[in-house]
């Protein structure tokens, strides 16, 4: 699923609905206004006007496919002897992932849901002042426990 928000022109959307003649004008206007409200109120949608206008949806689609191929986490050696290692992850830890094997078992190419281990790794942000409580900022996961 490609998630794009291309702030649509209401006039262009209306013209497209009229051209297709599949909906009554009343239904088409309801869809247009609902879409407009969602795009205005939903802070998690990505605004891609400039990149999509410049490179097209095809390039954006291929970029998202490349992003889905990136690893979820990595262990990096910080010393030549390999004794000092650093665990790197995009956002935070997940209470349901206890080992690296648990992370490797995740299907990286799936669209992340609004909760669960994949969502935790991609969208949780560690904050020392908050432990094991629901994430009040984006409401989609938990902050990792930092000790």
Check residue 67 and give its pLDDT: 79
With the CA atoms of 13, 16, 22 and 28 taken in that order, what torsion angle do they form, in degrees rounded to the nearest 10?
20
Dihedral pair phi/psi, residue 13, rounded to 5°: -65, -45
In whole numbers, what is the pLDDT of the chain averaged over residues? 71
Evaluate if residue 46 carries a pLDDT over 50.
yes
Check residue 70 and give its pLDDT: 82
Are 92 and 133 contacting, i.e. CB atoms less than 8 angstroms apart? no
Q: Rounded CA gap, 102 and 96, in Å? A: 9
Residue with tokens 């609902």: 34
Give 104's strand partners: none
Using one digit for the tens of pLDDT, what is the confidence trace for 85-99? 888 887 778 888 988
Confidence of residue 42 (pLDDT cuts 50, 70, 90): low
pTM of the shown model: 0.48
List the end-to-end C-alpha distance of the chain, in Å, as a whole number.
37
Q: What percent of the chain has pLDDT over 70?
A: 61
Check residue 65 and give its pLDDT: 82
Evaluate if residue 2 carries a pLDDT over 80.
no
């Amino acid at each position: 699923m490609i998630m794009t928000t291309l702030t649509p022109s209401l006039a262009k959307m209306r013209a497209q609905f009229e051209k297709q003649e599949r909906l009554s004008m009343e239904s088409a206007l309801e869809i247009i206004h609902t879409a407009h409200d969602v795009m205005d109120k939903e802070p998690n949608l990505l605004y891609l006007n400039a990149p999509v206008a410049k490179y097209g949806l095809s390039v954006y689609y291929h970029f998202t496919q490349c992003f889905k191929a990136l690893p979820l986490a990595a262990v990096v050696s910080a010393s030549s002897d390999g004794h000092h290692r650093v665990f790197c992850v995009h956002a935070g830890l997940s209470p349901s992932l206890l080992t690296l094997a648990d992370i490797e078992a995740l299907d990286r190419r799936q669209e992340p849901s609004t909760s669960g281990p994949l969502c935790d790794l991609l969208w949780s942000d560690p904050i020392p002042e908050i432990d094991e409580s629901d994430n009040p900022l984006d409401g989609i996961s938990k902050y990792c426990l930092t000790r």
